[in-house]
A and B are shown apart, each in its own frame.
Chain A
Amino acid sequence: MSAGRLYSGGRIDREQPLAFSFDGRDYIGYAGDTLASALLANDVRVVGRSFKYHRPRGLLAAGVEEPNALMQVGEGAASEANLRATEVELYAGLTARAVNCWPSARFDVGAVLRPLERFLTAGFYYKTFMWPDWHLFERYIRKAAGLGRPSTEADTSRYETRYAHCDVLIVGSGPAGLAAAVAAAADGQRVILCEQDPQLGGRLRWDPCVVNGQSLDGATAAAWIDAQVAALAAAGDAIVATRTTAVGYFDHNAVTLVERVTDHLGPQAPAHLPRQRLWQVRAGKVVLASGAIERPLVFPGNDRPGVMLATAVRRYLHEFAVRAGERLVVFTNNDDAYATAHAFQAAGGAVVAVIDSRAAPTATVLQAARAAGFAVVTGAVVCGTSGRPVLSSLRVRDAAGNTTFFNCDVLAMSGGHSPTVHLFSQSGGRLVWDDTRLQFRPGDSVQAEVSIGDAASVDTPVAALWNVEGRGKAFVDFQHDVSATDIALAARESFRSVEHLKRYTTLGMAPDQGKTSNVNALVRMGELTGRMPGDVGTTRYRFPFTPVSVGAIGGRQRGELFRPLRRMPLHDWHATHGAVLEEYGGWMRPAYYLQPGEHPHAAEQREALAVRTAAGLFDGSPLGKIEVSGPDAAVFLDRFYANTVSTLAIGRLRYGLMLNELGVIIDDGVVARLADDRFLVATTTGGAARIAGLMEEWLQCEWTTFRVLVAPLTTSIAVITLTGPKARSLLQTVGVDFPVGATEFPHMSFREGHVGGIPALVCRVSFTGEVSYEINVANSAVRGLWERFMAVGAADGLMPVGIEAWMLLRTEKGYLHIGADTDGTTAPQDIGWGHVLKREVDFIGRRSLTRTANLATDRYQLVGLEPVDGAELRPGRHLRGDAVTSGSEGYITSGIYSAALGRWVGMAMVRGGYARSGEVLNGVSGSSTFKARIAPLCSYDPAGDRLRG
Chain B
Amino acid sequence: MLLLHCPWCGPRDEPEFVCGGQSHMVRPEPWHAVDEATWGHYLFTRDNPKGVHLERWHHAHGCRQWFNVARHTVTHEILAIYRMDEPVPNAVAGARA
Q: Which A positions have Cβ atoms within 8 angstroms of B?
A: 163, 250-254, 280, 282, 428, 446, 661-662, 693, 696-697, 700-702, 704, 840, 842, 846-848, 851-852
Contacts and interface: CB of A to CB of B under 8 A. Distances in A.
A700 B1 CA distance: 26
A250 B85 contact: no
A253 B60 CA distance: 23
Contact of A252 (B34, B43, B60, B76): B76
B82 to A, nearest CB: 13
B47 interface: no
B31 A252 contact: no
Contact of B43 (A253, A282, A696, A848): A848
A851 B44 CA distance: 14
A251 B64 CA distance: 23
A704 B1 contact: no
Interface of B: 1-3, 13, 20, 27-32, 34, 36, 39, 42-43, 56, 58, 60, 64-66, 75-76, 84-85
Contacts of B60: 693
B66 A700 contact: yes
18 contacts: A163-B13, A252-B1, A280-B13, A446-B75, A661-B43, A662-B43, A693-B58, A693-B60, A696-B66, A697-B58, A697-B66, A701-B20, A701-B66, A702-B27, A704-B85, A840-B32, A847-B39, A852-B36
B29 A254 contact: no
Contacts of A700: 65-66, 84
B2 A251 contact: yes
A252 B58 CA distance: 19
Contacts of A846: 31
Nearest to A705: B85
Contacts of A693: 58, 60, 64
B13 to A, nearest CB: 7
Given A280-B1, A693-B64, A700-B66, 15 more contacts: A250-B1, A251-B1, A251-B2, A251-B3, A254-B13, A661-B42, A697-B58, A702-B27, A842-B29, A842-B30, A842-B31, A846-B31, A848-B43, A851-B36, A852-B36
A231 to B, nearest CB: 30
Contacts of B64: 693, 696
Contact of A704 (B31, B76, B84): B84
A252 B31 CA distance: 42
A687 B64 CA distance: 17
Nearest to A428: B75
Contacts of B75: 428, 446
A656 B65 CA distance: 27
A32 to B, nearest CB: 37
Nearest to B26: A702
A855 to B, nearest CB: 11
A851 B32 CA distance: 11
A279 to B, nearest CB: 13
A251 B77 CA distance: 9
Nearest to B18: A693
A848 B39 contact: yes
A2 to B, nearest CB: 50
A851 B43 CA distance: 12
The 4 A-B pairs at the shortest CB distance, nearest first, are namely: A252-B3, A254-B1, A847-B31, A700-B66
B84 A701 contact: yes
A701 B1 contact: no
Contacts of B30: 842
Nearest to B20: A697
B68 to A, nearest CB: 9
Contacts of A702: 27
A254 B31 contact: no
Which interface residue of A250, A693, A700 has the most chain B CB atoms within 10 A?
Answer: A700
A250 B3 CA distance: 11
Contacts of B36: 851-852
A125 to B, nearest CB: 35
A480 to B, nearest CB: 30
Given A847-B31, A848-B43, A282 B3 contact: yes
A282 B2 CA distance: 10
Contacts of A251: 1-3, 76
A840 B31 CA distance: 9
A418 to B, nearest CB: 26
A76 to B, nearest CB: 34
A704 B66 CA distance: 11
A847 B34 contact: yes
Could you say which of A254, A701, A704, A852 has the most chain B C-beta atoms within 10 Å of its C-beta? A701
B29 A851 contact: no
Contacts of A253: 3
Contacts of B58: 693, 697
Contacts of A851: 36, 39
Nearest to B75: A446
Contacts of B65: 700
B24 to A, nearest CB: 10
Nearest to B1: A254
Contacts of A446: 75
Nearest to B29: A842
Contacts of A842: 29-31
Contacts of B32: 840
A702 B66 CA distance: 11
Contacts of A696: 64, 66
Given A696-B64, A697-B58, A847-B39, A254 B3 contact: yes
A846 B43 CA distance: 12
A253 B14 CA distance: 13
Nearest to B40: A851
